[in-house]
Amino acid sequence: MTRKAFVTGGNRGIGLAIAKGLADQGLDVWIGSRDLDAGHQAADPIGVRAVQLDLEDKRSISEAIGRIGALDVLVNNAGVLFEDRFLGAPSAFETSMRVMVEAPYDLINGLAPGMIERGFGRIVNVSSGWGAFSEGLGGPGAYGIAKAALNALTLKVSKELPRTVKINAMCPGWVRTRMGGAGATRSPEEGADTAIWLAMLPENGPTGGFFRDRKAIDW
Ligand SMILES: NC(=O)c1ccc[n+]([C@@H]2O[C@H](COP(=O)([O-])OP(=O)(O)OC[C@H]3O[C@@H](n4cnc5c(N)ncnc54)[C@H](OP(=O)(O)O)[C@@H]3O)[C@@H](O)[C@H]2O)c1
Which of 55, 10, 53, 14 lies closest to 35 in space, CA to CA?
53
Please pick, among 4, 20, 143, 166, the residue that the annotation labels catalytic: 143
Q: What angle do CA 113, 116, 122 make, to 5 degrees?
A: 100
Per-residue pLDDT reduced to its tens digit, 97-137: 999 999 999 999 999 999 999 999 999 999 999 999 999 99
Distance (Å, whole) CA 212 – CA 194: 7
Average pLDDT over residues 199-204: 98
Distance (Å, whole) CA 116 – CA 114: 5
Task: Please report which confidence band the pLDDT of residue 1 belongs to, taking 50, 70 and 90 as the band edges.
Answer: confident
- Per DSSP, the three-state class of 96 is helix
Residue located nearest, by CA, to atom 40 of ligand 1: 34
- Counts for the chain of helices (H) and strands (E), in that order: 7, 8
**Nearest ligand 1 atom, CA 129:** 6
CA of 22 to the centre of ligand 1 (A): 18
User: What's the half-sphere exposure (Cβ side, CA atoms, 13 Å) at 14?
Assistant: 29
Quick check: 34 pLDDT over 90?
A: yes
Per-residue pLDDT reduced to its tens digit, 16-31: 999 999 999 999 999 9
Domains and CATH numbers, the chain: 4-216 (3.40.50.720)
Instruction: Supply the DSSP symbol for 151.
Output: H
138 — alpha (psi -120 to 50), left (phi > 0) or beta? beta
Residue located nearest, by CA, to atom 43 of ligand 1: 9
CA of 78 to the centre of ligand 1 (A): 4
Asked if 166 and 116 count as a contact pair (C-beta separation under 8 A), the reply is no
Asked if 7 and 32 count as a contact pair (C-beta separation under 8 A), the reply is yes
Instruction: Determine the straight-line distance between the first and last CA of the chain, rounded to whole angstroms.
Output: 35
Would residue 147 show up in a list of annotated catalytic residues for this protein? yes
Strands 28-33 and 73-76: unpaired
The pTM for the full model equals: 0.98
CA of 203 to the centre of ligand 1 (A): 29
Please report the pLDDT score of residue 148 as a whole number: 98
Please pick, among 147, 156, 166, 215, the residue that the annotation labels catalytic: 147
Quick check: 12 pLDDT over 90?
A: yes
**Site to substitute for ligand 1 among 8, 11, 14, 135, most atoms within 8 A of C-beta:** 14
Distance (Å, whole) CA 4 – CA 77: 16
Quick check: 43 pLDDT over 90?
A: yes
Alpha helical stretches, state H, 26-102: 36-46, 58-68, 90-97
**Site to substitute for ligand 1 among 12, 33, 59, 124, most atoms within 8 A of C-beta:** 12
Q: 7 has which bridge partners?
A: 31, 75
Strands 121-126 and 73-76: parallel
Please report the pLDDT score of residue 7 as a whole number: 98
The Cβ of residue 162 has, within 10 Å, a number of other Cβ atoms equal to: 12
Task: Please report which confidence band the pLDDT of residue 141 belongs to, taking 50, 70 and 90 as the band edges.
Answer: confident
Task: Please report which confidence band the pLDDT of residue 94 belongs to, taking 50, 70 and 90 as the band edges.
Answer: very high
Q: Compare 1 and 210 and report the one with higher pLDDT.
A: 210
Residues with CB under 6 A from ligand 1: 8-9, 11-15, 34-35, 53-56, 77-80, 99, 126, 128, 171-172, 174-175, 177-180, 184
